[in-house]
Structure 1
């Protein structure tokens, strides 16, 4: 009798395991089916349509520190966006700030460079974890990197790293959107749309860092990376309204992250990446079919001390890259230029200091005929610099 009871118990446990496994498989298949597949070939849009002249003559014509919120000692991971026509600002900067990285009080901060005053506005908190959690319907433990994009209607979109239980490897990318185009940037300006649907594991283990690349149809490609044990880059596609269209893995490597995109032509793009290996170099992949498939390339001859890079292609053959050039530290930050995307020449040393000084996580954009950069200054503030070509006499 007891043998029969034991057998029945074992059968019951086994059946529950089988049912549980079937349910999990069904959920995975359903989740994957809900996520759009990589869309068709896309075409990159140039920042400057016509070919630019030689970049060697470019000069620094502005620099400083972006204002910080009062009583906020730490800042990191800035993102820049050129503002649409009709805005009172040339561009906007977003970053995260608080007591320290990963602190509960970290919020997303914004400041704008005013067209009339030629000054940065006072820093404003625009996203906090409590409001985000209330809109999502579940808890948010901490906030991290923000990345900003302006859609075809002039609305600003924010893609923000947010964690629940666990560290950064358990983070989601939460998509927020400005309620009204050209409205003031404040805590009420942004609504949470959703976490991006990137993983069957509750959409976790994906993070964002580098700026999106504009497309000719008004949409964009957002480079992100997976980070749970292994690390690899992923390209996300969005349409002109900011609706998610699909995703594709960009590399078979498992030690690269934080890709930045550089179009070589309409459909031929490079992605340069942070390398986590000791004595790492800036790593590279390419697509020749508008983002449908990607191939690993040999490493560049640029040292990478496990640090984020930021690139911008403003016209064919006119590319810029902000990167840490010290082999083992983030004490030196350079701005380099290239016509090929493979060979790079130093254009300007942005910052340099002695250990433990850190100048890192750069951002690069084009606005009002200038090349703008921002970066973390000693984990305490966000610094900025602006470059222009000298005016020639008639």
Structure 2
């Protein structure tokens, strides 16, 4: 009998230990994860001399030795300096397209450097890459420059994946590229365009989008080491893409979205819990010709929007201002107006430490254009 009892005890010992381990590791025994919160910009409002008016005198075309340029991204480096990244080559989607990087020092732009080339990214990812695009540049609170960009191995942009490089010396040297795993479906069709947002836990949120079969907007969270934590789909965003997000406070943010549907309107979604949930999108009165937009929360709390202010064509680019967190918008102020077929698109916005506002955008698919102006120049936007 003692032998049988010992044998029975041994038989039940492994499953018993397994069940005990499950109980100890069950989520209800662990403290719940901290709710996500944004990390709004802090500090005193930057000061700008009241008589400063730099537009249109402060208008530049960035240096270029390539036939085509598109999809610029901006980030502040401190003081009056701004960094930019964009893709350029013989044409969009060509094998010679590279991601270029340049710094504005307050007086002019440095010679652009190719920080990502297709062959190097292909070698780093150990897979064939057909094309590169949509760089997104961001400086974190520790002074590290991050650059995300999309790459395509097969098919068109709907087959994109997101890659990441970083620099700890303001772009003089960059790490090898690393491919983010954002989807279980062959890791296809996660694209980035809008600027990231800092999170209070040290992580970062990327507004991203999906294009394979259907288009919709998504919200991708990375931890402090750049690893993917989770991804969620913004509700009601079928046909909408390229969300651009502005933080209101630690909990609240709003996203504006490009419209690829027949509605031809910028749409808006809001979060009141640090991006954990988003409201179903609604259409604004702002027209959108299926073109990229940029949104910036100025140091004084107002929201600045750069967009193409018509339901078709990209031959006009404008700014609009909101003083009520996007509930209403001023009439547009035109920045560029060209002939049919001209293109002024894919804007990017940033504000430097001196308070000056920077706008950059695709100019006729040939160059990147840069404007710098005082917030006081926006007083006519009502």
Question: TM-score normalised to the size of structure 1?
Answer: 0.80
| SS of alignment partner, residue 124 of structure 2 | helix
User: In 2, Cα distance between the equivalents of 1:151 and 1:40?
Assistant: 21
Question: What does 1:368-379 correspond to in 2, within 5 Å?
Answer: 368=353, 369-379=355-365
Q: Please tell me whether residue 215 in structure 1 is matched to residue 206 in structure 2.
A: no
The number of residue pairs the alignment matches comes to: 339
**1:330 — aligned with what?**
314
User: In 1, Cα distance between the equivalents of 2:197 and 2:307?
Assistant: 18
Q: Please tell me whether residue 367 in structure 1 is matched to residue 360 in structure 2.
A: no
Give the one of 123, 132, 140 matched to 2:129.
Answer: 140
Give the one of 349, 373, 376 matched to 1:387.
Answer: 373
How far 1:244 moved relative to its partner?
A: 3.2
How far 1:191 moved relative to its partner?
A: 1.5
Give the one of 160, 172, 181 matched to 1:184.
Answer: 172
Question: What does 1:51-62 correspond to in 2, within 5 Å?
Answer: 59-61=53-55, 62=58
User: In 1, Cα distance between the equivalents of 2:160 and 2:242?
Assistant: 14
**1:175 — aligned with what?**
164
Does structure 1 retain, via aligned residues, the 8 Å contact 2:140–2:198?
no
Question: TM-score normalised to the size of structure 2?
Answer: 0.83
Gaps of 5+ in 1: 1-38
Q: Please tell me whether residue 73 in structure 1 is matched to residue 73 in structure 2.
A: no
Question: What does 1:339-354 correspond to in 2, within 5 Å?
Answer: 339-340=323-324, 341-346=326-331, 348-354=333-339
Does structure 2 retain, via aligned residues, the 8 Å contact 1:67–1:111?
no
Structure 1 residues 314 and 49: alpha-carbon distance in aligned structure 2, compared to 1, 3 A threshold: farther
Question: What does 1:209-358 correspond to in 2, within 5 Å?
Answer: 209-315=193-299, 317-340=301-324, 341-346=326-331, 348-358=333-343
User: In 2, Cα distance between the equivalents of 1:104 and 1:297?
Assistant: 37
How far 1:196 moved relative to its partner?
A: 1.6
Structure 1 residues 208 and 389: alpha-carbon distance in aligned structure 2, compared to 1, 3 A threshold: closer
User: In 2, Cα distance between the equivalents of 1:284 and 1:40?
Assistant: 27
Tell me how large the CA RMSD over aligned residues is.
2.4
Gaps of 5+ in 2: 1-32, 378-382
Structure 1 residues 389 and 273: alpha-carbon distance in aligned structure 2, compared to 1, 3 A threshold: closer
Structure 1 residues 390 and 229: alpha-carbon distance in aligned structure 2, compared to 1, 3 A threshold: closer
**1:166 — aligned with what?**
155
How far 1:215 moved relative to its partner?
A: 3.2
Give the one of 145, 150, 159 matched to 2:139.
Answer: 150
How far 1:314 moved relative to its partner?
A: 2.6
Does structure 1 retain, via aligned residues, the 8 Å contact 2:182–2:228?
no
Does structure 1 retain, via aligned residues, the 8 Å contact 2:309–2:332?
no
Give the one of 69, 88, 100 matched to 1:97.
Answer: 88
| SS of alignment partner, residue 127 of structure 1 | strand
| SS of alignment partner, residue 234 of structure 1 | strand
Structure 1 residues 150 and 357: alpha-carbon distance in aligned structure 2, compared to 1, 3 A threshold: same
